[in-house]
Structures are given as C-alpha cells and as structure tokens.
Amino acid sequence: MEKIVESFELYGKQYRFETGELAKQATGAVLVTQGDTTILVTAVVSKQEKDYDFFPLTVDYIEKMYSVGRIPGGYLKREARPSEKGTLNARMIDRPIRPGFPDGYKNEVHIVATTLVCDGENQPDVICVGGASAALLVGGAPFDGPAACVKIGRNAETGEFIVNPTYEEDANSDLDLTIAGTKDYISMVEAGAKEISEEDMLAAMTFGQEAIAAFCDKQAEFIAKVNPTPMEYKLHTPAPEIAERVEPYFDRMSAALKDADKLSRMGKVEDLKAEITTNEFSDEERASWGSDIAAALKKLEKKAMRKMVIETGERADGRRPDEIRPLHIVPGYLPRVHGSGLFQRGQTQALSICTLGMLNEWQRLDTIEPVEGKRYMHQYNFPPYCTGEVGRMGSPKRREIGHGALAERALLPVIPSEDEFPYAIRVVSEIMESNGSSSMASTCGSTLALMDAGVPIKAPVSGIAMGLIKEGDDVVILSDIQGLEDFLGDMDFKVCGTSKGITALQMDNKAKGLSVDILARALKQAHEGRAFILSAMLEKLPEPRAELRDTAPRIETIHIPVDKIRDVIGSGGKVVRGIQEETGANIDIQEDGTIHIAAVEGKAGEAAKAMILGIVKEPEVGEVYEGEVVGIKDFGAFVKLTPGKDGLLHISRVANGRVGKVEDVLSLGDIVKVQVLEVDPKTGKISLDRLDKPDAPEGSADNGREHSHRNNNDRGERDMRPGRSQRSSNGRTPRRRHEA
C-alpha cells in the first residue's frame, strides 16, 4: 500500500491520519496526530474463530518515555508495567470500540496504541480511539465505524466549550468530559467536573456528540482515500435446535430470577441451567456445543429479566425502577485509623479508610503526562471473597484501577487545597460484598471516611449507578442497579456529585439507540437518587469532625527565609535529622521556605518548631539564652545559643575575678545563662556575657597565661558595668582576646 495522508483542522486544532508506511504486516495501522503528539495505532485480527461465549478483544496502550525525551526510572531503564493512566487509556479505547463489532464475531482482535511523540501541549489519549477505528477500517475489519472520541472542556471564565483542550486549556477548565461514539449513538462517557449542573453537563454532551460526528466525517474521508478491501468473515451461528430446547424453560427462569438475595438467586439460576443442560443435551452435544449452550442459557436469563422489567415494572429483587436498596451507614467504623466509613446498599458493602500524612508522602508518577504526582490518592480493592468466589490475590486489575480512578475523580473537586489542609491524603476502599454499584458505594464510603478523619471537604459527595432496559420504543431507566441489571441491561451510567452539582460521570452503553433525551431522563432520576442517599449519609455524620483523631499527625506550617533553609537542613541533612530524632516530629522543607512539621504528640511538634525558629532567628543585643558549652579555648568558651548558632563567652566574662584557665570555671556540656553583648554586622560573630557569674576559684589566676597581672585586682576603681569582671582596671581598658 502506498502512503496515504489526510490532514485537517477542526475546532482550531490540527490533525492528521496516515497509513501505508509503518507496521505494514498488521491488519491495519494508522499514525494519528494532534499538533506534534503522534500515536501509532495498530489492529490485528486473527484468522481463526475462537470457541468463546464472548468477543475476544484486547487493547493495550503503551507509554514510551522517549516520546517525552525521558529515560525510564528504576534499575532496568525500560518501560515496564503500564501506569494507572496508561491502564485507564486502554480501557477508554476498548469501551467505544467493543460495541462496533457484530454479535457472533469471535475472531481475536488486538489493538495496540503506542505513543511515539508527546509534545507536552496536546493530550495523547482521546485521539487513540479515532486511530483504533481507522486502523480497523483500513484493514477491512467488520467494524461498525467510523467511531471517534473527543474531550470537552469548558473555560471557567467564559463558559465556552473547548474540543480536545491542550494541557494549558485543561488547567483553566471546570469540566473534563470524554465522550465517544459514532455519528448515530454515544457509546461511552467519562467525566470529572467542579459541581456543574445536570443541564450544563447535558449541553456539554450534546456538543460532544456534534464534535464526534465531525471527526467521524473526516475519518470517513481518509478511509475513502484508502479504499480498503473488506475482510471476508463469518459470524458464528449456533445450531437452531439449541434455542428451541432452551426456550420452553422461560417461565421457570423468570421465577428463579425473582429473589432479592444474590447468592440464593444465582444458585436457583445455576441449578436450572444445569438441569436444562443435562436434560436437553447429550454428552456429545454438550461436548460439541458447549459455548453455544452457555450463550443460549445466558440469553434466556437476559430475556426473562428484561421482559419482567418492561412488562411489569418490577425488578428481580422486587424494587420499583427508581427505588434505592436499603442503606446501612456507619461513620468511624474502625478504631485508631485516622478516618473510616462503612457504606452498604443492599448486598453491596464498601469499607473506606482514610490516612493522613506529610505532603512529602505524595504519590510520585513516572509517566509521559506533565504531572509530577498527586497528594490525594484513592485506591479500590475488589477481592474474590466479596462475590463469594475463590480467586487469586495480586496486583490491581484494570477494573479495580478504573473504579478507584472514578471515585478519586468524584471526590477530588471537594478536597481542600494544600494551603487549607497541608496533608497528603490516601483513601482505600475495601469492597467487602458486591452486588452491583460497588464503585458508587466506594465513593459514598470514602466521603464518610474523609469526614470522619476531620478533612474539611468543601461538600459531601454521593454516587449512584443507573441502568437502562430498552426494547424497541419501550425504555425503563433503573436507579441503583445490581449486578444482574448491569450484566444483562443496556447501560451502566454512574453519576456522582454534591447537592450543588455533578463531580464525576461514567457511562458504558450497549444500546445503539441511546439518545440525548434518554440521557436527560437518566440524569434527572440520578439526581433524585443521589439526594436521597446523601440525606441518609448526613443523618449519620452531618459535617466533617472538628478535630483530627488522636492517632493522626498534627501538621503545623511555618515559613522561613529561603537563605536560612541550608541552616535548618545542615550539612548532609545533619541538623534536620537531629531535630527529628530528638523530638520525634517529621519535617518537610519546601524550596520556597515553607516548612511542614508533623507530630502525633503536640509537644513534639512544638519542640521541633521552637528548634527551627531558634536556628533561623538572628540573636539580638540584650537577648538572654540558656546554652550549652560546646567548645573551650584559651581565650574563652563557645556557647550554643540555637541549633545553628554559637556565641563566644570571653575568659574575662566567665566569672567574677581573674580566671587563668576557662576549664577552672566551665566544662564541656555545662549549661550557662548568657546575654548577647554584641553582634558583628560583618561577620555575624556573637559576643556574650555570663549572667549570675560565680566567683573565680581561689588560685585560678595563678594558673593562667596572664600571671604577671595577678596582683592588679585592687588597683584603681572597680568597673561596675554589666559584663565586666569586678576588678580594678587602674584607668585602662583590659585587653580583650576575642578570637572566634
């Protein structure tokens, strides 16, 4: 194939599709760019059909550090497992591409998006969907495209919508909406927002649908230039007698589904499926039609559930379409942890735990994104026991990363700023039991945990998952869907927000006839459900607790001059480490002179603060200190005034009377009360006088270097000025030997 290029401009930004030069052995390969950001998206379709009861699509998003001119961290110095952002991008490509393949297509499809160049201005994520669609179409795959994805931002000052905003434009946006689909339908929505209204969110989605159509038109022009040859393929068609033997069990399947208890219902359904398989199919048929029988039984279950909802308005657990499952809410569920909250809705239960730490405990990110890290972290765990299953525990899977990111996005707009609350915040949601909407239970439980920890969030957040059953023109929107309605329904639409507006959205759609009107109805019903849930939460915990737990660190922030940072840190960190070891406090020093001091015990924090302020404080004439003798010379003793400042107590001021040797009066480690006499403005050297001087030991003067003057004590008048030895000066000023 010769090289084919399509360049175009949309909504003020430059784009480009290219094929025919790179990765020519793939089924289809397209280079897609926005600005200088360049992604290679390849698609490979296997030639053999797989015996699966699902469509085997795999999507990988590969972040290459060379794309931003960086060498990967770690010992290996090569890219390893994907970052969380990379995993989320792979999920974002998968969700709008998967519905575009026909039912019954079981050839494996593998899509790989590789970042070749990231210019630091244009974001690399959403253009990958258009690249994946184009790569499939270039290869002639049986894909219902073109499909495209756009990101919609909104200028916080002007209210103007922005298509595929740059990083700079994104920073000034109160909306981050990612929406994907074709010219005819929306298949995926992902959004974060700063409490915007349902009406504004709907307007943004409508605008996004128009933008998708524009990008699909440009992609179609590119595909027309390529003029690919459609791939020959066949759809898997099960033997018709399978459905004929399964269909008579419809009424029994409907009866088995009517059970509010998840495990009981699943047990009845599985028993019925086993009975049908055993009674209706021979051993040879089961061996030959195994996946087809399983698919037919699943189809029977789906049909029974959907017909029940459409015809009677009753759900499997007996609820009305807009009814929320029973709630059980317990803030402060665990002792000692900094904050916790148990949130249960029906048979979905999430226990969220909040931990507060120093700002230097933030999460550092090694990705191609121009973001160094984050101080608010939300993590979600979905162990096998939460669904009563046996499984392998390991690193978080894509689903867990995605659900954690959704809850994090929902709560991020209400997290107080660093200046308001100088803590790193980590919330972990442990799913204890699951029957649908566990990510929304995680959001609600995490709100409780934050409030229980005393984090002054701007407003509490609740979340709800909405579902859809659509048969022809009959549409039923379901509130608070359970697992069965998610798996067998047409839509999973999660909405999070405060009483003021939406903070996060996520939608996956299987119904190609999903319209903006249906989304508007779903948003309205979700608003009512969110309000109901939030009211129940606030009955248990009306506002964030006024005080932190006794086990949580207290952080105090002080500011010092930038030129004093070196004094506080000390050589090789010796000074700051010494303060931490002595007081037990943790200290975080910023480049602008901001210092955060954290300690569980208030006394430890106060002691560390006093030591730091003592280091940076410049002693002034007349100030009094109690300091340790840290050095002794012939001419005097050095006294430690602060951790970083010493002053000289001259031998003539260590006692009343003549002293021959400093050691006759002072020893290393002695604590003496001194007053600042003089601070040299050029060198900063400090001269001290000892207060409450003792009398010089008898015979001390005879041991000194000034032996020849030992009989001068009674000559002339006594000098009664503070800081002078009470001895005769005979009209002359005593010689001062000040050699710091």
d(C-alpha 57, C-alpha 324), whole Å:
34
Indicate the pairing of strand 376-381 with strand 424-433: parallel
Residue 473 assigned ligand-binding role: no
Angle between helices 574-583 and 602-616 (to 10 degrees): 150
d(C-alpha 451, C-alpha 449), whole Å:
5
Cβ–Cβ under 8 Å, residues 460 and 542: no
**3-class SS string, 158-213:** CCCEEECCCHHHHHCEEEEEEEEECCCCEEEEEEEEEEECHHHHHHHHHHHHHHHH
Picking from 352, 357, 428, the residue whose alpha carbon sits closest to that of residue 396 is 428
DSSP single-letter state for residue 331: E
Strand order in the sheet with 57-62: 4-10, 13-19, 28-34, 37-49, 107-117, 57-62
Picking from 641, 579, 565, 637, the residue whose alpha carbon sits closest to that of residue 611 is 579
Q: What residues contact residue 510 under an 8 Å CB cut-off, 6+ apart?
A: 99, 489, 490, 491
Environment class of 730 (CB within 10 Å of its CB; exposed 0-12, middle 13-18, buried 19+): exposed
Q: What residues contact residue 78 under an 8 Å CB cut-off, 6+ apart?
A: 72
Q: What residues contact residue 414 under an 8 Å CB cut-off, 6+ apart?
A: 457, 458, 459, 460, 461, 498, 503
Residue 625, beta-bridge partner list: 674
Q: What residues contact residue 425 under an 8 Å CB cut-off, 6+ apart?
A: 354, 355, 356, 357, 375, 376, 377, 415, 450, 455
Tokens of 712: 């001068």
Strand order in the sheet with 339-345: 327-331, 339-345, 348-357, 424-433, 376-381
What DSSP letter does each residue of 584-611 carry, written as one string?
Answer: --EEEE-TTSEEEEEESSHHHHHHHHHH
- In the block, tokens 């955060």 appear at 596
Cβ–Cβ under 8 Å, residues 35 and 46: no
Tokens of 701: 């003067």
Residue 563 assigned ligand-binding role: no
Q: Binding site residues for Mg(2+), as ranges?
A: 486, 492
Q: Binding site residues, as ranges?
A: 486, 492
